[in-house]
């Protein structure tokens, strides 16, 4: 008899990647829909993942001298409008508060889509002397952008993020800050999330509204689409001039300071899902997994099993691992499937047969490899196994990235490569926005970045044939 599917399952990603993604988000208990388009409920398991990300990043920011602050949710229209490029960029996706109680407001208030304007307005008041610089602030908050289409984690109207905002006496120092924070993001993605990144600079067309230069890290998903995982902006003194921020330097001269901002959002969770997930569900990088190891007692009604499992749990907790013991009365098979769906990096099985031999079994989520471990070596073995999962995930993601990079010398070639394989298409580029637009119109790709790691693929632009000195990555992005 053909076994009917007993439980709701996850669509195979080869069959329908978008459906697979949505299934994982829901079945792994990360997120739930609310009654309003584009705003989501972060469920405990999904929020715990964000908290772990927050905790690590927050430590990195503080280590490099940044302080956390909290700015208001609302921006008066007049304040938002001071920087021309910025307001033009964000106006189409602003949501406004126009009523207070039953009264119409004198001036409407924008719900922050990002907080540059608020920080500038505040910086103007607190910075007067060279002694006040640098200012290195960060805030954890949510922002609102009235997106037309939305998807869990990848594109919310309201999303959680951090935004760093810093002010410096010199352009060099501000640029160093911008680049340093990009490195921080790249380090975090690669060493904590096991996501390899491509670092580079956005073209003028793609840069942040109001920025002089935008740096980015770009990741490659399983389906060949690109994901911008974090950005860091150098503003020059544009915002400072627009918002009238001045300081007196050591020579008693009035100067305009230089500014940066940088942000990373819950979108990254979407990136984790699409980088590491498989047809059994989520696969979480061990360093941010809410549960690093789930302990499953086998034949738990037999004497000694539950006690032994609880002892192992306590030992591992004491050793600093995030562990959970599941002694619910579900069958072992059910639990195996459940925790695979939730992406728990390591499963620990312990049953009567193990206890007789003073051992347990560790199973890796990424490749299902089993390892029998003597109980007195458990802490070391688990640490090794978690590290092995991290390394395994990174290697697999790196291979996926590398197998999704193709070189092209003409627009037609680029278009065909994208259509056939997806991925990043690298070409030489003359630097003109017209060529970017043409690539978008005819090949459906936007420029992802001008990578730091440049290669010389030729001397002419793949689109217009004119002289070209820069190599650009193109792709279809989330």
Interface mask (CB under 7 A) for RNA, residues 75-94, using x and -?
--------------x--xx-
Please say which residue, 233 or 396, places its beta carbon nearer to RNA. 233
Given 83, 326, 338, 366, the residue binding RNA (CB under 7 A): 338
CA angle 207–209–210, rounded 5-degree value: 105
Would you count residue 336 as binding RNA (CB under 7 A)? yes
Interface mask (CB under 7 A) for RNA, residues 364-383, using x and -?
----x---------------
Tokens encoding 317: 């907790």
- Please choose, from the candidates 390, 322, 347, the residue with its C-alpha nearest in 3D space to the C-alpha of residue 45: 322
Given 9, 279, 410, 454, the residue binding RNA (CB under 7 A): 9
Would you count residue 303 as binding RNA (CB under 7 A)? no
How far is residue 18 from each of residues 10, 43, 316, measured CA to CA in Å? 11, 21, 37
Please say which residue, 18 or 99, places its beta carbon nearer to RNA. 18
Please say which residue, 40 or 61, places its beta carbon nearer to RNA. 40
Please say which residue, 409 or 421, places its beta carbon nearer to RNA. 421
- Residue identified by tokens 């990373």 is 264
- Burial grade of 294 (CB within 10 A; 0-12, 13-18, 19 or more): buried
Distance CA 236, CA 248 (A): 18
Does residue 192 contact residue 198 with C-beta atoms inside 8 Å?
no
Which residues, in sequence order, are CB contacts of 429 under 8 Å at separation 6+? Answer: 435, 436, 447, 450, 461, 462, 463, 468, 470, 471, 472
Interface mask (CB under 7 A) for RNA, residues 224-253, using x and -?
----x--x----------------------
Tokens encoding 138: 């960060």
Window of 43-51, 64-72, 295-303, 381-389 that interacts with RNA by CB under 7 A: 295-303
Would you count residue 47 as binding RNA (CB under 7 A)? no
Distance CA 28, CA 209 (A): 36
Distance CA 324, CA 413 (A): 51
Window of 201-209, 309-317, 377-385, 411-419 that interacts with RNA by CB under 7 A: 201-209
Distance CA 253, CA 16 (A): 62
Please say which residue, 210 or 257, places its beta carbon nearer to RNA. 210
Given 162, 232, 261, 265, the residue binding RNA (CB under 7 A): 265
Binding site for RNA (CB under 7 A): 4, 6-9, 18-19, 21-22, 33, 35-38, 89, 92-93, 145, 147-152, 154-157, 159, 161, 206, 208-209, 228, 231, 263, 265-267, 280, 298-301, 329-334, 336-338, 340-341, 349-354, 360-361, 363, 368, 440, 444, 477
């Amino acid at each position: 008899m053909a076994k009917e599917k007993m439980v709701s399952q996850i669509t195979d990603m080869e069959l329908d990647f978008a459906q697979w993604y949505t299934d994982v988000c829901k079945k792994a208990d990360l997120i739930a829909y609310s009654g309003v388009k584009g705003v989501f409920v972060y469920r405990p398991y999904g929020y715990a993942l964000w908290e772990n990300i927050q905790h690590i990043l927050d430590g990195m920011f503080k280590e490099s001298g940044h302080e956390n602050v909290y700015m208001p949710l609302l921006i008066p229209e007049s304040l938002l409008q001071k920087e021309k490029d910025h307001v033009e960029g964000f106006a189409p996706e602003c949501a406004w508060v126009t009523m207070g109680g039953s009264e119409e407001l004198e001036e409407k208030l924008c719900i922050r889509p990002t907080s540059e304007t608020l920080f500038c307005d505040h910086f103007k008041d607190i910075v007067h002397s060279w002694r006040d610089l640098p200012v290195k602030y960060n805030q954890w908050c949510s922002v609102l952008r009235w997106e037309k289409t939305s998807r869990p984690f990848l594109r919310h109207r309201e999303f959680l993020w951090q935004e760093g905002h810093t002010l410096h006496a010199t352009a060099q120092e501000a640029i160093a800050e911008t680049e340093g924070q990009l490195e921080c993001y790249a380090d975090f993605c690669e060493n904590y999330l096991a996501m390899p990144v491509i670092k580079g600079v956005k073209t003028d067309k793609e840069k942040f509204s109001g920025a002089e230069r935008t740096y980015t890290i770009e990741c490659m998903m399983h389906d060949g689409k690109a994901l911008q995982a974090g950005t860091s902006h150098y503003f020059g003194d544009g915002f400072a001039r627009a918002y009238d921020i001045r300081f007196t330097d050591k020579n008693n001269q009035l100067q305009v300071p230089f500014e940066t901002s940088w942000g990373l959002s819950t979108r990254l969770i979407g990136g984790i899902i699409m980088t590491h997930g498989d047809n059994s569900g989520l696969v979480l990088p061990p360093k941010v997994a809410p549960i690093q190891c789930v302990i499953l007692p086998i034949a738990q009604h037999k004497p000694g099993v539950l006690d032994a499992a609880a002892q192992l749990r306590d030992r591992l907790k004491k050793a600093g691992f995030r562990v959970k013991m599941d002694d619910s009365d579900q069958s072992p098979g059910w639990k195996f499937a459940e925790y695979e769906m939730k992406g728990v990096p390591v499963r620990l099985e312990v049953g009567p047969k193990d206890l007789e031999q003073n051992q347990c079994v560790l199973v890796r989520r990424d490749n299902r490899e089993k390892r029998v471990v003597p109980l007195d070596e458990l802490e070391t073995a688990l640490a090794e196994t978690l590290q092995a999962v991290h390394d395994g995930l990174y290697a697999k993601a790196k291979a996926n990235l590398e197998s999704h990079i193709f070189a092209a010398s003409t627009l037609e070639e680029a278009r065909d490569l994208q259509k056939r394989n997806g991925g990043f298409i690298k070409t030489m580029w003359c630097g003109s926005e017209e060529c970017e637009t043409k690539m978008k119109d005819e090949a459906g790709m936007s420029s992802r970045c001008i990578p730091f790691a440049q290669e010389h693929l030729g001397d002419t632009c793949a689109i217009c044939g004119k002289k070209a000195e820069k190599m650009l990555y193109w792709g279809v992005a989330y």
